[in-house]
Amino acid sequence: MSAPQLTPYQQGLGSVNADGLNTFEQTCNVFNDMRAVVGVTGMQVWARGGVTINDGLQGPFYWNGTLVNPVDDNANTIVPTGSAQGAWVRNPVTAQIAGFTSTGTALLPNNDASESIGSANKRLATVNSVQYLLYGSASGVITLQGQSAAGTFTLTLPNTAPPGGTSYLQGNGPSSPLSWGSSTAVNPALQRGQIGGLTLSNDGGSPNTVLDISAGFCTSSDLVSVMQLSAFTKSISGTWVVGSGTNGLDTGTIAASTWYHVFVIQRSDTLVVDVLFSLSATSPTLPTSYTQFRRIGSFRTNASSQIIAFTQNGNEFLWSVFPQDYGTTIANGAQSLTLTVPTGVVVNALIFGQYSNSNAAPIYILITSLATTSTATSSSLSMISTQVTGQNIGFGVMSIRTNTSAQIRFNANAASGTLSLCTMGWLDSRGQFA
């Protein structure tokens, strides 16, 4: 028998033909109710639960009379007691996922034990901190496979679209129907520059060799993925090894008095997220299968190849001990000064200091970014000025934009007096406006 044409019926009016009688969905409480009934083709039953009502196994079942010696798995196939042919088969419900996270109720069978992660048509999802495989098909439908207890859970889908483009989730086994709550779409391209958490600090136990990275997230520099990282530690003692508490250098061994840049990195196949240290601020040497990355900060080593102590608050990085980057007689005209701030990127150096005049003539000093036009100083164009011999002028914190060589410009109207310049730290946007 095939399903008849849809026809509206009202109680007490007209009659229902034989085919139509078999298309009305009935309701039962648990699977044992279905085991007591041999169905007919076209018949559908809504089970309110498996063993008890609303235990996560609820859903629609239809009668399949073609099955011979079917096996009752107490989940997807329910066989009437003593029946050698025919069974109640779960009718899977496919639900479209409009966004990154949703909540629902499901029980998922474990049938992916022989599968390996890494194929192009597979992605990872996480349910209650347990990872699951998402299998893509040409139509874009993906099947969630794994093991979870019944109840309400949060499903976190990958940030990258599964094969086929459109993201759908098909409950595998007794995961239907899926009752989805509100969801919010995440498009990494619209999350340009986003970063939260991921604060860097010297490790409490091994501050000279280990860097701590707090939990957080950031959009990858190629705008393909939103990468999420749990609290992490990485050592400068050797080349990169996957996982927290391991070495983090992309190549070589740690160098003395050198700037290193810290990256969050991610595999495109398994979506595993990690941390990497590199001499390059823009092109780290990524481990095999890692394709997404985002620079989240920098650190410098001292003459003993140890991490110099610093603190971070958002985009602000401060040295624990302020280095003096200049302390000599000033030169006449413009000159470049190199500061102890990251190289390879443009930052805003936070500097302060003092000038002592040894000339009876007025001295005018201007400190600017090399991104601006060099301008001669004067009484009306200066940041620091002295009028008498022996006058000391202290100046508070200035924020001056550097170039990628950590340089700024210093300009004076005469070669006289001594300038002392200290670097308190720097402001680093870490790709927020790239």
Pick from 369, 368, 371: nearest CA to 381: 368
Q: What pLDDT sits at residue 183?
A: 33
Pick from 91, 67, 93: nearest CA to 80: 67
User: Could you list the residue range(s) of the whole structural domain that residue 69 is in?
Assistant: 18-90
> What is the mean pLDDT of the segment spanning 358-376?
85
Q: Are residues 200 and 159 in the same domain?
A: no
Residue 91, burial from CB neighbour count under 10 angstroms (0-12, 13-18, 19+): middle
Pick from 411, 414, 387: nearest CA to 400: 411
pLDDT band at 6 (very low <50, low <70, confident <90, very high): low
Domain annotation covers residue 328: yes
Domain annotation covers residue 6: no
Taking the CA of residue 221 as centre, how many other CA atoms within 13 Å lie in the half-sphere pointing to its CB?
16
Beta bridge partners of 329: 418
Q: What pLDDT sits at residue 161?
A: 37
Residue 203 tokens read as 């490790």
Q: What percent of the chain has pLDDT over 70?
A: 71
Q: Are residues 118 and 66 in the same domain?
A: no
Q: Supply the mean pLDDT for the chain.
A: 77
- pLDDT of 405 > 90? The answer is yes
More confident position, 144 or 215: 215
The residue from 186, 220, 241 where one domain ends is 186
Summarize pLDDT for 105-116 with one digit per residue, the tens. Answer: 332 333 332 223
CATH of the domain at 373: 2.60.120
Q: Are residues 198 and 309 in the same domain?
A: yes
More confident position, 168 or 369: 369
pLDDT band at 2 (very low <50, low <70, confident <90, very high): low
Pick from 191, 195, 199: nearest CA to 231: 199
- pLDDT of 127 > 90? The answer is no
Domain annotation covers residue 11: no
Q: Are residues 175 and 229 in the same domain?
A: no
Give the range among 10-14, 140-144, 330-334 with minimum mean pLDDT: 140-144
Summarize pLDDT for 228-267 with one digit per residue, the tens. Answer: 999 999 999 999 999 999 999 999 999 999 999 999 999 8
> What is the mean pLDDT of the segment spanning 57-65?
86
